[in-house]
Amino acid sequence: MSTPVLEAPGKAPAPKRNGRVGGGLLDPKQLLTSLPDAVKKLNPVTLWRNPVMFIVEIGAVFTTVLAVLEPSFFAWAIVVWLWLTVVFANLAEAVAEGRGKAQAATLRAAKRDTTARRLKSRTSQEWDVVGAPELKQGDFVVVEAGEIIPGDGDVVEGIASVDESAITGESAPVIRESGGDRSAVTGGTKVLSDRIVVEITQKPGESFIDRMIALVEGANRQKTPNEIALNILLAALTIIFLVATATMQPLAIYSKSINLGVPDSLALNANGVTGVVLVSLLVCLIPTTIGALLSAIGIAGMDRLVQRNVLAMSGRAVEAAGDVSTLLLDKTGTITLGNRQASEFVPVAGVTEQELAEAAQLSSLADETPEGRSIVVFAKQHYGLRERQIHGAEWVQFTAQTRMSGVNLGDRQVRKGAATAVMKWARDQGGHPTDEVGHLVDGISGSGGTPLVVAEKGRVLGVIHLKDVVKQGMRERFDEMRRMGIRTVMITGDNPLTAKAIADEAGVDDFLAEATPEDKLTLIRKEQEGGRLVAMTGDGTNDAPALAQADVGVAMNTGTSAAKEAGNMVDLDSNPTKLIEIVEIGKQLLITRGALTTFSIANDIAKYFAIIPAMFAAVYPGLDALNIMRLASPQSAVLSAVVFNAIVIIALIPLALRGVRYRPSSASKLLSRNLYIYGLGGIVAPFLGIKIIDLFIQFLPGMS
Partner 1 sequence: MERLPSWLRQHLAALRAVVVLTVLLGVIYPLVTTGVAQALFNGKANGSIVQAGGKDVGSAIIGQKFTDKDGNPVKKYFQSRPSAAGDGYDPTSTSASNLGPDDIVDGPNGGQSLLTQVCARSKAIGELAGVSGARPYCTPDGVGAVLKVFPDHAVSVNQACPATPFVATYEGLKVECGKPGEDYAAGRTVPVRGEAGTPAVPADAVTASGSGLDPHISPAYAELQAPRVARERGIALDKVKQLIEANTTGRTFGFMGEPAVNVLELNLSLDKA
Partner 2 sequence: MSTTAAGMIFIVSLIVALGLVHKPLGDYMYRVYTTTRHNVVERGVYRLLGVRADAEQSWGVYARSLLAFSVISILVVYGMQRLQDKLPLSLGMKPVTDHIAWNTAISFVTNTNWQAYSGESTMGYLVQMSALAVQNFVSAAVGMAVAIALVRGFARRKADTIGNFWVDLVRGSLRILLPIAFVGALVLVAGGLIQNLSGLHEVTTLTGGTQGITGGPVASQEAIKELGTNGGGFYNANSAHPFENTTNWTNWLEVFLLLVIPFALPRTFGKLVGQVKQGYAILAVMGVIALTSVLLTNVFELGGNATVPQAVGAAMEGKEVRFGVSDSATFAASTTLTSTGAVNSFHDSFTPFGGMMTMFNMMLGEVAPGGVGSGLYGMLILAVITVFVAGLMVGRTPEYLGKKIGAREIKLASLYFLVTPVLVLIGTAFAMGSAEQRASMLNSGPHGLSEVLYAFTSASNNNGSAFAGITVNTPWYDVALGLCMVFGRFLPIVLALALAGSLARQAPVPAGAGTLPTHRPQFVGMVVGVTIILVALTFLPALALGPIAEGLS
Which residues have a catalytic role annotated? 330
Write out the binding residues for partner 2, residues 619-658 only, by CB under 8 A. Answer: 619-623, 625-626
Q: What phi and psi values does residue 145 have, to the nearest 5 degrees?
A: -50, 135
Q: Which is nearer to partner 1, 149 or 619 (CB)?
A: 619
d(CA 274, CA 266): 7
Q: Confirm or reject binding of residue 666 to partner 2 (CB under 8 A).
A: yes
Quote the least distance from Cβ 242 to partner 1, whole Å. 31
Identify the three-state secondary structure at position 128.
strand
CB 264 within 8 A of CB 270: yes
Write out the binding residues for partner 2, residues 217-246 only, by CB under 8 A. Answer: 225-226, 228-230, 232-233, 235-237, 239-241, 243-246
Write out the binding residues for partner 2, residues 573-602 only, by CB under 8 A. Answer: 586-588, 590-591, 593-595, 597-598, 601-602
Write out the binding residues for partner 1, residues 102-121 only, by CB under 8 A. Answer: none
Which value, in Å, is the radius of gyration of the alpha carbons in the chain? Answer: 34
CB 132 within 8 A of CB 115: yes
Q: Confirm or reject binding of residue 261 to partner 1 (CB under 8 A).
A: yes
Residue 248: contacted member of partner 2, partner 1, none (CB under 5 to 8 Å, by partner type): partner 2
Q: Is 399 left (phi over 0), alpha (psi -120 to 50) or beta?
A: beta
Residue 260: contacted member of partner 2, partner 1, none (CB under 5 to 8 Å, by partner type): partner 1
CB 1 within 8 A of CB 311: yes
H or E element, residue 196: strand 195-200
Residue 261: contacted member of partner 2, partner 1, none (CB under 5 to 8 Å, by partner type): partner 1
Identify the three-state secondary structure at position 163.
strand
Contact window for partner 1 (CB under 8 A) among 257-265, 267-275, 484-492, 518-526:
257-265
Quote the least distance from Cβ 592 to partner 2, whole Å. 9
Residue 532: contacted member of partner 2, partner 1, none (CB under 5 to 8 Å, by partner type): partner 2
Residue 605: contacted member of partner 2, partner 1, none (CB under 5 to 8 Å, by partner type): partner 2
Contact window for partner 1 (CB under 8 A) among 28-36, 104-112, 256-264, 572-580:
256-264
Residue 662: contacted member of partner 2, partner 1, none (CB under 5 to 8 Å, by partner type): partner 2
Quote the least distance from Cβ 282 to partner 2, whole Å. 11
The 10 Å Cβ neighbour count of residue 134 is 13
Q: Which is nearer to partner 1, 345 or 616 (CB)?
A: 616
Torsion sign (Cα): 685, 688, 693, 694? positive
Quote the least distance from Cβ 626 to partner 1, whole Å. 18
The 10 Å Cβ neighbour count of residue 271 is 12
CB neighbours of 557 closer than 8 A, spacing ≥ 6?
Answer: 164, 167, 168, 186, 564, 570, 571, 572, 573, 574
Given candidates 14, 69, 172, 260, which one binds partner 1 under the rule CB under 8 A? 260
Quote the least distance from Cβ 665 to partner 2, whole Å. 9
Given candidates 391, 529, 630, 701, which one binds partner 2 under the rule CB under 8 A? 529
Q: Confirm or reject binding of residue 480 to partner 2 (CB under 8 A).
A: no
Residue 473: contacted member of partner 2, partner 1, none (CB under 5 to 8 Å, by partner type): none
Q: Confirm or reject binding of residue 205 to partner 2 (CB under 8 A).
A: no
Contact window for partner 2 (CB under 8 A) among 384-392, 400-408, 530-538, 631-639:
530-538
Contact window for partner 1 (CB under 8 A) among 161-169, 255-263, 377-385, 414-422:
255-263
CB 190 within 8 A of CB 147: yes
d(CA 96, CA 31): 10
Quote the least distance from Cβ 578 to partner 2, whole Å. 18
Residue 597: contacted member of partner 2, partner 1, none (CB under 5 to 8 Å, by partner type): partner 2
Quote the least distance from Cβ 15 to partner 2, whole Å. 18
Cα angle for residues 379, 492, 541 (degrees, 5° grid): 120
Quote the least distance from Cβ 317 to partner 2, whole Å. 13
Given candidates 8, 45, 172, 258, which one binds partner 1 under the rule CB under 8 A? 258
d(CA 421, CA 455): 11
Quote the least distance from Cβ 618 to partner 1, whole Å. 12
Given candidates 497, 671, 688, 692, which one binds partner 2 under the rule CB under 8 A? 671
Task: Give me the DSSP letters along 428-468.
Answer: HTT----HHHHHHHHHHHHTT-EEEEEEETTEEEEEEEEEE
Given candidates 25, 667, 688, 692, which one binds partner 2 under the rule CB under 8 A? 667
Write out the binding residues for partner 2, residues 298-357 only, by CB under 8 A. Answer: 319, 322-323, 325
- Binding to partner 1 by CB under 8 A, coded x per residue (else -) over 485-524, reads ----------------------------------------
- Burial of residue 681 (CB within 10 Å: 0-12, 13-18, 19+) is middle
d(CA 690, CA 646): 11
Task: Go through the chain and tell me how many residues it has.
Answer: 704
d(CA 459, CA 439): 16
Count the residues of the shown chain that bind partner 1, applying the rule CB under 8 A: 3
H or E element, residue 522: helix 517-529
Quote the least distance from Cβ 260 to partner 1, whole Å. 4
Write out the binding residues for partner 2, residues 273-302 only, by CB under 8 A. Answer: 281
Residue 603: contacted member of partner 1, partner 2, none (CB under 5 to 8 Å, by partner type): none
Bridge partners of 407? 395, 414
d(CA 101, CA 123): 42
Identify which of 221, 218, 2, 33 has the alpha carbon closest to the alpha carbon of residue 108: 2
Q: Confirm or reject binding of residue 8 to partner 1 (CB under 8 A).
A: no
Residue 500: contacted member of partner 2, partner 1, none (CB under 5 to 8 Å, by partner type): none
Task: Give me the DSSP letters along 616-666.
Answer: HTTT-GGGGGG-TT--S-HHHHHHHHHHHHHHHHHHHHHHHHH--------
CB neighbours of 691 closer than 8 A, spacing ≥ 6?
Answer: 629, 630, 631, 640
Quote the least distance from Cβ 480 to partner 2, whole Å. 11
- Binding to partner 2 by CB under 8 A, coded x per residue (else -) over 44-83, reads ----------------------------------------
d(CA 80, CA 470): 61
Q: Confirm or reject binding of residue 674 to partner 2 (CB under 8 A).
A: yes
Q: Confirm or reject binding of residue 509 to partner 2 (CB under 8 A).
A: no
Residues lying near partner 1 in the complex (CB under 8 A): 258, 260-261
